[in-house]
Amino acid sequence: MQATTRLDFFSTMVLVRTYEEAILREYHADKKPVFDIGAGLIPGEMHLSAGQEPVAAGVCAHLTADDAVTATHRPHHFAIAHGMDLQAMTAEIFGRVDGLGRGRGGHMHLFDPATHFSCSGIIAEGYPPAVGQALAFRKRGTDRVAVAVTGEGAANQGAFHESLNLAALWKLPVLFVVEDNDWGISVPRSASTSIPSNAERARGYGIPGVRVEENSVEAVYAAAGEAIDRARAGGGPTLLEVHTLRLWGHFEGDAQGYRPDLEGAGTRPDPHLRGHPARRRRARRQQRHHHP
């Protein structure tokens, strides 16, 4: 792999993390003294993608703005990696009239015709529109592809399976991405999903399924590249699951009492790990508990 490609990955991931750290700061800034989710300049829920940057950077490196991306309620890493205008995106998150959706959608509903990007607060909602877009791309005789993203929790939704079936049947140019961050809100993967790898589900629809076990941008880039090349060449869809890491809470304000893996240093290494307010609060609580 070329050094410039690696540098591009790094720049994208650092941009995403820096952006989300700024959102994190602004989101909490006016919700004090007691966390009030409805208060401040960004009222409502906030789902940040910290830890999952390698998935977006590795996939979107193969795309142009002509390719479609449909993302989830945790959309910032994909929006930024796909080249969304940061001013318009930020204005939307702050509910401003100069935002992508005139400020009516907020952070879970970023619709951007310039980069063919959309996302939704309804889980697995990105899958069917990706199939529709891929059908349009094919009918127009282009080699454009659609990338649909969802979480491992949403992979149990009906829309996920219906989309795989139709895209497989019609050999549509779609890359279905599952971000397995081990959690659907507070529900561990093992309590929601009957098999350890969603990649196995691809076989049920007769399409290739790949699971990337490492949260590695290079591994994601390699697997996504193969799938996207195949889709552009008329070879049909692929299901790609990446075992990634949800570094922060499900949403901001989530105390994560259900996550034993955060008690110590964490079970999986994260080179970008920094102090998170929720984590620091939790540590202080524990200290008080141990040293009254």
Ligand X SMILES: Cc1ncc(C[n+]2csc(CCOP(=O)(O)OP(=O)(O)O)c2C)c(N)n1
Q: Which residues form the interface with ligand X (CB under 6 A)?
A: 72-74, 121-123, 150-154, 179, 181, 183-185, 246, 250
Residue 142 CB, nearest approach to ligand X (Å): 30
- Residue 185's binding partner among ligand X, Mg ion, none (Cβ under 5 to 8 angstroms by kind) is ligand X
58 contacts Mg ion (rule: CB under 5 A): no
Q: Decide: 228 and 62 in contact? Cβ < 8 Å.
A: yes
Q: Compare residues 153 and 173 and give the one whose CB is closer to ligand X.
A: 153
Q: Compare residues 230 and 246 and give the one whose CB is closer to Mg ion.
A: 246
193 contacts Mg ion (rule: CB under 5 A): no
- Residue 73's binding partner among Mg ion, ligand X, none (Cβ under 5 to 8 angstroms by kind) is ligand X
Q: Compare residues 76 and 144 and give the one whose CB is closer to ligand X.
A: 76
Distances (CA, A) of 47 to 71, 152, 211: 13, 15, 24
- Residue 74's binding partner among Mg ion, ligand X, none (Cβ under 5 to 8 angstroms by kind) is ligand X
d(C-alpha 206, C-alpha 236), whole Å: 10
- Residue 250's binding partner among Mg ion, ligand X, none (Cβ under 5 to 8 angstroms by kind) is ligand X
Q: CA torsion sign, 107 to 111 to 116 to 122?
A: positive
Task: Kindly indicate which of the ranges 57-65, 79-87, 92-100, 150-158 contains the residues binding Mg ion, using the contact rule CB under 5 A.
Answer: 150-158
Residue 140 CB, nearest approach to ligand X (Å): 31
Q: Decide: 173 and 145 in contact? Cβ < 8 Å.
A: yes
Q: Compare residues 42 and 149 and give the one whose CB is closer to Mg ion.
A: 149
93-112 mask for Mg ion (x: CB under 5 A)? --------------------
Residue 73 CB, nearest approach to ligand X (Å): 5
Residue 19 CB, nearest approach to ligand X (Å): 17
181 contacts Mg ion (rule: CB under 5 A): yes
Q: Compare residues 91 and 147 and give the one whose CB is closer to ligand X.
A: 147
Q: Compare residues 131 and 155 and give the one whose CB is closer to Mg ion.
A: 155
Q: Compare residues 133 and 150 and give the one whose CB is closer to ligand X.
A: 150
d(C-alpha 92, C-alpha 96), whole Å: 6
- Closest by Cα among 250, 195, 242 to 222: 242
- Residue 135's binding partner among Mg ion, ligand X, none (Cβ under 5 to 8 angstroms by kind) is none
